[in-house]
Structure 1
């Protein structure tokens, strides 16, 4: 599996898992509003935008070249490639983090965020029209 696919799928499944848990009977308790809460570690209170977390990756990757094809960065040990031809590569470890805003368990806050985004877009459009008239 290519590294980009591994990262995208991992982050998507984290978000999907939180949303699925929120849809269950006791889901209102998952990432619910916590006004004024201070977090430590990987959780960050981002104000009106809820809670963000840091997803840390520490993966072993291989940089491969096959025949005349270009280089490919793949997660080491994930997937099987049965293609024919000469393969050359080496394994390396990389570590990085991706900040992710968790789905909000508070429907009212989600509505406020949506309304705020709409108001900002409307303001940008109006300002753009005003600038164009000049």
Structure 2
């Protein structure tokens, strides 16, 4: 019988959960959400090219409460994924690996995504008149 080799367990089983670990998973989830949101974006482009009736159907959906939640979620996923990408770029350049820097970058991506999404929607409502 071969000797037993002690291999490390998955970090999810042995490490204490950190915000950086959770945001890494959220980054992957927002990447998947962007694929689904791209279908909505394609629908918008097709409806725009198809004429007033098709565009009115799209507007009816995106003006409903569920449509607005989906579009808001897509907006947040897009902004959060972008800011997390910047965080990963900083790491790829060899910076921000200290515990304090890593935590700061992670919190900045999380809070920045939320704040920028809300600000973008406020500006859109102010410019668009709530439409």
TM-score (ref. length: structure 1): 0.23
Q: Which one has the bigger helix percentage?
A: 2
Q: Which one has the bigger strand percentage?
A: 1
Largest Rg, 1 or 2: 1
